[in-house]
Amino acid sequence: MTVAPESTSQDAQAYLPDFCAAGTLFIVLLVAELVAIALTLAAHDAGGQFLVELSKTSFFVLWLALLGTAIMCQLRNRLESTGATRAFVISFVVLEVVCLVLAEVSWQLTRIFGESSIIDDTHGNFLLRTFAVSSIVIALAMRYLYVSSEWRRSIVLEAQARISALQALIRPHFLFNSMNTIASLTRSDPAQAEEAVEDLSDLLRVTLSSPRDMSSLKQELETAAIYQRIEKLRLGERLNVRWDVGELPMRARVPNLTIQPLLENAIYHGIELLPDGGEVLVTGKRDGKMLEITMSNPVARGRSRDKDGNKMAMANIQQRFDLAYNGRATVEVEDADDRYSVALRFPEDRGDA
Amino acid sequence: MRVLVVDDEKPARDRLRQLLDDEDQFDVVGEAGNGHDAVSLAAELEPDIVLLDIRMPGLDGIETAHHLNALEKVPAVVFTTAYDEYAVDAFEARAIGYVLKPVRRSRLTAALEQAAKLAGTTLREVATDARLDAPRQHVCASMQGELKLIPVEDIACFRADQKYVSVEHANGQDLIDDSLKSLAEEFASRFVRIHRGALVAVQRIERIEKTADGKNRVVLREGSQVDDKELIISRRHVAEVRRRLKES
């Protein structure tokens, strides 16, 4: 299962292959025929005629494969929108039902045409055998599709995370404003200008590290503090940040660049648009094995700035948390009239292992 | 030339002042940290040029420029911005002066030298193209040289009054220069036309009632402080008013 370079990100994120495509149909038929051969070989004894048995089994299995593929071709678009686990469970059930219906039909047909010898078994036993064999084969196929789709998705996600982490930090707005501030300080307060250049360099250095890297909570909080210093030069009294994170274990490992982008969002979408500024509140809590960091900021009524950009930043953090904690982390957004808050919940990872 | 510097960030204002202090032909006469102060300072100091940041809390740069246009002595405006793709495109398209941050001396003096005065219609187009917070959040009335900003959310209705438009709002009544037609377009999401000469804020309408002579008229919510006796809905507009009222 290779990802064609021209495939769009949407395709790359699909769980199921395109069953309507000729290539997929060919592979399905090939696998079905191999299964038929295996089954016949397993049941074959010295007295039987191998080819006759093979043709009977193939006839049944190929019908099943064709019908199953046709149904999956119809269902695929609807299944894609339900999420991975559901899509696979539903496909499994649907295919199993197709299988049993087909088995029952063939049984009845051989009775009607009086060729009962074709299926050399009792009714109940035949259905049971069909069910057992098909369950195993379908489950294996589903597992294969699941693993390969996850593998494809992780590659795409990683690439996206890398790009969007870069974009998220070096928001041009921030970069140019900081440069302007530094240009101004070079004359009025050279010492502070020097410090600002150092801070900005540190921040850019962190951005250039891989977004898949993990860093410690301590490091993350330091990066956010550097960012806060730069913004404070620009916004002055308008920016206040209250850090209430004493409860958090500083050694805990978190994905690189998770707290600073949240603070940047709080400033860009909140504080900056308020004439008198406001206070960003960062709280950290420890709840058993789970850690929770909440960032909340006041927002200006009736003024929103680039909601899409904010959604993208949130999706980016969600993706990176998903990758880092195998889906055990959550990112919750609360968008009230006058306050906006984001809560990150993730398992504590001390990185000893 | 007398220059007024407007930016919500102090270092950004300092930077412009530093650069202009070195130039003989420009003289910084004042600084403002927000749009409101900018408008009143401009009225008081009558600068030739206003250097105006686009992204400011409260009144943004484009809206401030709009209000500057209502002053007796309209200053030329040069916008400053760190990064606003859309705004920059809009300025380029209409040959409006702007300076990018970090501000470069040569660029700044060039922009100031060719600063042009902007008309209200141009600004509205810029605001739309720049995807800034159009429509305006205030309308602007000038009374004997003094400028008054009326928050749009306080306004109950606009009424055409001969040459002017009268704004009826929470704190009384004022005359403005905008035409009813342009107001209707700009505030289409908030106001509905009830007859040829009046726009009413949909949110302020309590109900529609029949008068003794069979006409429809708008009854405003309490506290609107506007005489609603004359808010008769013309036959042409009844359906539209009912529809908007239902939607709200």
Q: What are the angstrom distances between the C-alpha of A350 and each of A162, A248, A324?
A: 24, 12, 13
Is B133 at the interface with chain A, CB within 8 A?
yes
User: The dihedral of CA A108, A109, A113, A119: what is its sign?
Assistant: negative
Among B6, B9, B100, which would you mutate to test the A interface (most chain A Cβ atoms within 10 Å of its Cβ)? B9
Domain stop point among A94, A122, A154: A154
CB count in 10 Å sphere of residue A323: 18
Q: Which fold has domain B2-129?
A: Rossmann fold (3.40.50)
Report ipTM for this prediction.
Answer: 0.71
Residue A325 and residue A189 share a domain:
yes
- Give the distance from residue B106's alpha carbon to the nearest chain A alpha carbon, in angstroms: 15
The answer to whether A308 faces chain B, any CB pair under 8 Å, is: no
Q: Establish if A51 belongs to a structural domain.
A: yes
Identify which of B12, B58, B133 has the shortest CB distance to residue A180.
B12
Distance (Å, whole) CA B158 – CA B7: 32
**In chain B, what residues touch A179 (CB-CB under 8 Å)?**
101-102
Any B CB within 8 A of A231 CB: no
**pLDDT tens digit string along A124-159?**
888 888 888 889 988 888 888 888 877 877 777 777
Q: What is the pLDDT of residues A195-229, one digit of tens each?
A: 999 999 998 888 777 656 788 999 999 999 999 99
Q: Does any domain span residue A292? A: yes
Helices (H) and strands (E) in chain A, counts: 10, 7
**Hey, what are B210's tokens?**
């029949």
A290 to chain B, any CB pair closer than 8 A? The answer is: no
Measured between CA atoms, the residue of chain B closest to residue A187 is B18
- A-chain CB neighbours of B18 within 8 Å are 184, 187-188
Domain B138-247 has CATH 2.40.50.1020: yes
Q: Look up tokens 């959040």; give the residue.
A: B137
Entry pTM:
0.65
One domain, residues A174 and A76? no
CA–CA gap between residue B29 and residue B21 (Å, rounded): 11
State whether residue A300 sits within 8 Å of chain B by CB: yes
What pLDDT score was predicted for residue B115? 82
Q: Which of A154, A182, A217 is the last residue of a domain?
A: A154
Residue A11 is predicted with a pLDDT of 45
Separation CA B196–CA A265 (nearest Å): 46
Q: Torsions phi, psi of A107, nearest 5?
A: -60, -50
| A230–B contact, CB cutoff 8 A | no
CA dist., res. B189 & res. A196, Å (int):
45
Residue B203 DSSP one-character state: G
CA distance B187 to B199: 10
pLDDT value of position A205: 85
Q: Which domain holds residue A260?
A: 170-347
Most confident of A18-32, A73-87, B41-55: B41-55
Mean pLDDT of B125-138: 70
Element (H, E) at A332: strand A330-335
To the nearest whole Å, the CA of B102 is away from the closest chain A CA by 4
The model's pLDDT over B150-172, given as tens digits with 9 standing for 90+, comes to 888 889 999 988 788 999 888 88
B190: closest CA among B135, B149, B129? B135
Mutation site, A174, A184, A235, interface B, largest B CB count within 10 A: A184
**Domain for residue A161, yes or no?**
no
Written as six digits, the tokens of A186 are 């070079």
Residue ranges of the domains in chain B?
Answer: 2-129, 138-247
Residues A178 and A272 placed together within one structural domain of the fold: yes
Partner-chain residue, chosen from A180, A188, A273, that has the shortest CB–CB distance to B57 = A273
Domains in chain A: how many in total?
A: 2
Q: Is B22 touching A (CB cutoff 8 A)? A: no
Rounded CA gap, B90 and B94, in Å?
6
Q: How far apart are CA A311 and CA B224, in angstroms?
A: 38
B165 touches B184 (CB < 8 A): no
**Mean pLDDT rounded to a whole number for chain A:** 83
Confidence grade of residue B224 (pLDDT, cut at 50, 70, 90): low
Beta-bridge partners for A286: A291
pLDDT value of position B73 = 85
Digit-coded pLDDT (tens) for A67-92: 888 988 888 878 877 777 788 888 88
- A305 plus A335 within the same structural domain: yes
- Asked if residues B152 and B66 have their Cβ atoms less than 8 Å apart, the reply is no
Residue B244, pLDDT > 80, answer: yes
- Give B9→chain A minimum CA distance, Å: 6
Average pLDDT over residues B48-64: 89
Kindly state whether residues A191 and A61 are assigned to the same domain: no
**Taking CA atoms, what residue in B is nearest to A274?**
B57
Is residue A146 domain-shared with residue A233, that is, in the same domain? no
Q: Tell whether A42 is covered by a domain.
A: yes
Least confident of A9-13, A253-257, B120-124: A9-13
Contact yes or no for B15 and A172 at CB 8 A = no
B window 96-115, beta carbon within 8 A of A: 100-103
By residue count, chain B amounts to: 248
Q: Is residue A4 in a domain? A: no
- Of A154, A187, A221, which one is at a domain's C-terminal end? A154
Looking at the domain assignment, is residue A3 inside a domain? no
Residues in chain A with CB shorter than 8 Å from the CB of B9 are 177, 181, 234-236
Distance in Å, alpha carbon of A313 to nearest chain B alpha carbon: 18
Residue B95 vs residues A241, A313, B78: alpha-carbon distances, Å: 41, 34, 11
A302–B contact, CB cutoff 8 A: yes
Q: What is the CATH number of the domain that holds A339?
A: 3.30.565.10
What is the distance between the alpha carbons of residues B43 and B144, in angstroms, rounded to a whole number?
A: 11
Residue A305, domain member (yes or no): yes
Q: A195 to chain B: which residues are within 8 Å by CB? A: none
Identity of the residue in A275, A300, A303 whose CB atom sits nearest the CB atom of B34: A275
Tell me, yes or no, whether A67 lies in a domain: yes
Residue A192 sits in the same domain as residue A291:
yes
